[in-house]
Amino acid sequence: MRKVRTLARGLVARVLTAGGVLALVLAHGLQAHSSVPSATATRIKHVVIILKENRSFDHYFGRLPGVRGASSGLIHTGERVSLVKPPDPFPHDVGHSTSGWHKAWDNGKMDGFDLESTPTTDTGLLLPYTSMRESQIPSYWAYARKYAIGDRFFSPWKGPSFANNMFSVAGQAGQFDTTNGRKVIYDVPFNLQHEPVAGNYWGCDSPAGTLVRMEAPGGSISTQFPCFNYRGLPNVLANHGVSWKFYTPGSKNDIHNALDALKPVRYDASLWKNIAYLGQFYTDAADASLPNVAWVNGRSSEHPPYTACAGENETVQIVNALMNGPNWNSTVVFVYWDEWGGMYDHVPPPSGYGFRVPFLVISPWTKHGALSNGGYVTEHPRVHRAQLVAAVPDSS
């Protein structure tokens, strides 16, 4: 388990996976106190988890003062190269398969990101070895300074999005097998032509013939249809009388709605009705109808070549809707990226985990400028809240 310490005064959450068990902060009724004078302490009643994609910590925040960041990195030859300013958008995606993860990790040397697939452009730019400047993602840096950023937060799986998305809603991405023990989702679903499944379905609604590879202890690989029997956090929340919704754009079976891969959610009509379209989120935020726990899967994921700028603007829009709504004083927002997307990071992950990803905590109860840095807290210059509440049509 990852420990998030001192991110909010009085709020200490043990996170089983990236995002998922943050819901249990609410289920256990932990109390958060303001870092500014207040006559009473307000209990957190709304946990909002904003799901983003495919950026490493060093790629977004490696140059933020005070964090455990980097401005250069090692390539496989042992040469150290500068993390240069990237184009936005990227000209193409960067490889981020499980096999690519192992090349980049290189037994903890963290020097093989140039060996991932499609790491360079036609001009020779090493896309993994880039880091955003504040001018490119100013609102994210403002959130980090004003509220809280974690620089010891690792994705739960050393591979692409499907398994990491499962962790975010279920605290696991496996299936127990009586012969092989616990098996973990290895990559993304594929069809009988061994091509990644395109379209809207990674789960129980996938077309017949869809398979996903599963890795057993010891490394043996098997395949199965991507529809699993274990319960997710919605089952736990419902059992404790805690309301929830998963807001998603387009189809309710969107590939990044991992609840579609859980039979106890997908085939329970009383739970599946809580899958809502993204537009409903803004209505709920405005009229005090937010559930206790909300996952928000936006339209702008930040998965290259989609732009960081567009994704940041959507995050600002989501947070502004909360700040301007009646539930803000009882809300905590967690923003995290599901996996590294092929981007360089210099910190070797703990055994079994993926690479570091950005992690922001935004709330009126968050200690200003708090930084989760190996359990220590430092202070950063404050950013006036009005700068964050103001509508930002194009922040980058």
Residues 212 and 295 in one domain: no
Res. 201 pLDDT band, cuts 50 70 90:
confident
Q: Which of 224, 239, 267 is where one domain is finished? A: 224
Cβ partners under 8 Å of residue 17, min gap 6:
156, 167, 168, 171, 172
As beta bridge partners, residue 244 has: 293
Q: Which of 205, 224, 243 is where one domain is finished? A: 224
Unique residue bearing structure tokens 């998965």? 303
- pLDDT score, position 178: 61
Res. 389 pLDDT band, cuts 50 70 90:
very low
Q: Does the pLDDT at position 378 exceed 90?
A: no
Higher-pLDDT residue of 389 and 63 is 63
Determine if residue 32 is left, alpha or beta; phi over 0 gives left, psi from -120 to 50 gives alpha, anything else beta: beta
Residues 235 and 218 in one domain: no
Q: Does the pLDDT at position 337 exceed 60?
A: yes
Residues 64 and 183 in one domain: no
Q: What percent of the chain has pLDDT over 70?
A: 79
For the CA atoms of 30, 36, 40, 46, what is the dihedral angle to 10 degrees?
Answer: -40
Residues 328 and 235 in one domain: yes
Q: What is the pTM of this model?
A: 0.86
- pLDDT score, position 217: 84
Residue 171 token pair: 């605290």
212 close to 185: Cβ distance less than 8 angstroms: yes
- Establish if 395 belongs to a structural domain: no
148-170: pLDDT as tens digits: 999 999 999 999 999 999 999 99
- pLDDT score, position 34: 34
- Establish if 167 belongs to a structural domain: no
Q: Which of 100, 61, 7 is nearest to 371 (CA)?
A: 7
CATH number assigned to the domain comprising residue 84: 3.40.720.10
Residues 115 and 30 in one domain: yes
**How far is Cα 207 from Cα 226, in angstroms, rounded to an integer?**
10
- Establish if 394 belongs to a structural domain: no
- pLDDT score, position 367: 77
Q: What integer is the mean pLDDT of 246-274? A: 93
Res. 177 pLDDT band, cuts 50 70 90:
low
- pLDDT score, position 369: 66
Residues 249 and 334 in one domain: yes
User: Helix or strand or coil: residue 373?
Assistant: strand
Q: Which range, of 22-26, 140-144, 271-275, 387-391, averages the lowest pLDDT?
A: 387-391
Residue 394 token pair: 């194009």
- Establish if 166 belongs to a structural domain: no
**How far is Cα 20 from Cα 40, in angstroms, rounded to an integer?**
29
Class of residue 81 by CB neighbours under 10 A (exposed 0-12, middle 13-18, buried 19+): middle
- Establish if 37 belongs to a structural domain: yes
- Establish if 168 belongs to a structural domain: no
- Establish if 359 belongs to a structural domain: yes
Exposure letters 294-310 (e unless 16+ CB within 10 A, then b): bbbbbebbbbbebbbbb
Residues 83 and 106 in one domain: yes
65-112: pLDDT as tens digits: 999 999 999 999 999 999 999 999 999 999 999 999 999 999 999 999
Class of residue 113 by CB neighbours under 10 A (exposed 0-12, middle 13-18, buried 19+): buried
Cβ partners under 8 Å of residue 284, min gap 6:
245, 276, 290, 291, 294
Residues 62 and 192 in one domain: no
Q: What integer is the mean pLDDT of 325-334? A: 95
- pLDDT score, position 192: 64
Residue type (1 letter), 328: W
Q: What is the mean pLDDT of the chain?
A: 83
Q: Does the pLDDT at position 6 exceed 80?
A: no
Residues 311 and 198 in one domain: no
Higher-pLDDT residue of 147 and 43 is 147
Res. 252 pLDDT band, cuts 50 70 90:
confident
Q: Which of 202, 224, 246 is where one domain is finished? A: 224
For the chain, the domain total comes to 2
- pLDDT score, position 370: 63
Res. 42 pLDDT band, cuts 50 70 90:
low
Q: Does the pLDDT at position 14 exceed 90?
A: no
Q: Which of 209, 218, 211 is nearest to 185 (CA)?
A: 211
Residues 315 and 201 in one domain: no
- Establish if 283 belongs to a structural domain: yes
Res. 254 pLDDT band, cuts 50 70 90:
confident
Alpha helices in 156-293 (DSSP H): 161-170, 233-239, 263-266, 269-272, 278-286
- Is-cis flag, bond preceding 364, omega within 30? no
Q: Which range, of 169-183, 243-257, 284-298, 382-396, averages the lowest pLDDT?
A: 382-396
Residues 207 and 356 in one domain: no
Residues 306 and 352 in one domain: yes
Q: Does the pLDDT at position 23 exceed 50?
A: no
Range of 181's domain?
173-224
